Amino acid sequence: MARREGQRLLEERAIRDEVVCAAALPPAHGARRGRLVTVNLAESPLGWLFGHGHLTERQFAAGERLRADFERGNLEPRVTMSWDGAQVARGGGASPSIDPTGAQIDARRRFETAVVAAGGGLGDILWRVVCAGEGMRDAERALGWPARAGKLVLTFALDRVADHYRMPH
């Protein structure tokens, strides 16, 4: 089949950069402990920046470690109403809230100290790109920064996070 000028050729490609990892989610009642998940590293903004040579291996590893602490700490914003402390209609008392595990508390502490170690003003770009998976262009626009400024600021922040985590150079 002949291609016309300007027409794109779509083709199926294998995922090159993938990892298989155990999800750190608590199992559902009666389910087995954890599950295996295949992750395409090029799908995240951090993976894309690393894959295109905009981040060093150390910066990428620091970002992935920060994101892992964010996820293990269960720090994602809720998308539904929290019923943890809702009043019981007839009982009058609050239902007991679900206590975070020790691992969640440790992960939250590691995340918070890493963001503080990155320095003032750098937590926003770290959260948007590394944790929320927001694209660089969208993050720059949301923060009111000029184009390509976010990449530079993100590399500074990731260097500081890598220093905080004591990652080798």
- Write out the two tokens for 124: 């926003």
Q: Per mean pLDDT, which range of 38-47, 48-57, 114-123 is the poorest?
A: 38-47
Q: Are 26 and 41 in contact, with CB atoms under 8 Å apart?
A: no
pLDDT in tens, 118-161: 998 899 999 999 999 999 999 999 999 998 899 999 999 999 99
Average pLDDT estimate for 106-121: 92
Q: Per mean pLDDT, which range of 60-69, 102-111, 149-158 is the poorest?
A: 102-111
- Determine the distance from the C-alpha atom of residue 8 to the mean position of all C-alpha atoms in its chain, rounded to a whole number: 32
Give pTM, 2 decimals.
0.65
How far, in Å, CA of 5 to CA of 25, rounded? 49
How many Cα atoms are found within 13 Å in the side-chain-facing hemisphere of 116?
6
pLDDT in tens, 79-104: 666 565 555 555 544 444 456 688 88
Helix and strand counts by DSSP (H, E) for the chain: 6, 2
Residue 169's identity, in one-letter code, is H
Domain ranges across the chain: 41-75+102-169
